[in-house]
Amino acid sequence: MKVDIRSDKGASAGLLSIQDCDLLMPLFIQSADFIAIRSRLGGFSESVKTFTLSSIGISNDTSTTNSIEHTLLHRTLCALNMFTVQGVGKGELMLAGSVRKGLSEHRLLITLLTSTK
């Protein structure tokens, strides 16, 4: 998007670039729908990555899985505007969002598995 910036010191043109993650909207779906959509993907457009707690800045001294899940959920929701489909307490956090591009909607599903092993 081109913008024209004017002030008492003159005018200049600029280019405003908005990233897809800035346009992310919560996608309000039920847990069963989330699981069905995730299973239909069947690895297509799927990315799996394993992190240690220390690599993402979470103390290994965290005493319970629930507080690890709380921290992960809080940090993710602070960074991304998503709907929490399944929250803390089940070992699997599920978040859903969507981005509209023209007439099409692109869904983003995030599953965070927690394990203290």
pLDDT digits (tens, 9 = 90+) for 73-98: 888 888 888 999 988 888 888 999 98
Residue 69 lies in a domain: yes
| Residue 101 domain flag | yes
Domain of 33 in residue numbering reads as 20-113
What is the tally of structural domains in the chain?
1
Residue pLDDT, tens place only, 64-75: 555 878 888 888
Q: Is 34 exposed, middle or buried (0-12, 13-18, 19+ CB in 10 A)?
A: buried
pTM (2 d.p.): 0.69
Label residue 91 left, alpha or beta by phi (over 0 means left) and psi (-120 to 50 means alpha): left
Type of residue found at 93: L
In a domain, 93, yes or no: yes
As given in the structure block, the two tokens for residue 38 are 């995730």
On the question of pLDDT at 1 being above 80, the answer is no
Q: What is the mean pLDDT of the chain?
A: 77
